[in-house]
Amino acid sequence: MKRVIADVEEKLRAGEYKLTSRREHILRVLLENKDKHLSAEEVYNLVKKRAPDVGLATVYRTLELFLLFDIIHSIDFGDGRKRYEFCSSGTDGHHHHHLICTRCGKIIEVNEDLLEDLETRVSKEHDFKIENHQLKIFGTCRECTEKINK
């Protein structure tokens, strides 16, 4: 975690920003919850436990700053709330994909590039440089399906 924090600090410094203690608290919450897709309010509630003086506005501003520097990215899973997750290094600009249960809200990550062939074909056909894509598949998870079938 220390290496990632140092990398983020360096990235911010290159853009003439500082990794303040409040920003570091927010970063640590995101890193400690890498496997989750936290909303700004959820980040705020987790940060509040360790740094009670951090306000919700600070969390929002910091998340926007982290987005600007590609430290995190945001996703809307169809519920009208932005969710944030830490950007993994070595992904060549591609993010993993998500399966979203419309019953319980569970989010399952799919860590393979399901759109690579389509992306290549579309790029060539339309002379379009694709920088990124997201795939969200909505349906019913195994647990909810089992409950329905009982």
133 is in an annotated binding site: yes
Is beta strand 82-86 parallel, antiparallel or unpaired with respect to 38-39? antiparallel
Helix (H, G, I), strand (E, B) or coil at 34: coil
Helix (H, G, I), strand (E, B) or coil at 98: strand
Is beta strand 97-101 parallel, antiparallel or unpaired with respect to 107-110? antiparallel
Name the E strands within 89-132.
97-101, 107-110
Helix (H, G, I), strand (E, B) or coil at 96: coil
Cα angle: 73, vertex 74, 78; to 5 degrees: 150
144 is in an annotated binding site: yes
141 is in an annotated binding site: yes
Residues placed in the known binding site for Fe cation: 95, 116, 133
Binding site residue list: 95, 101, 104, 116, 133, 141, 144
Annotated binding site for Zn(2+): 101, 104, 141, 144
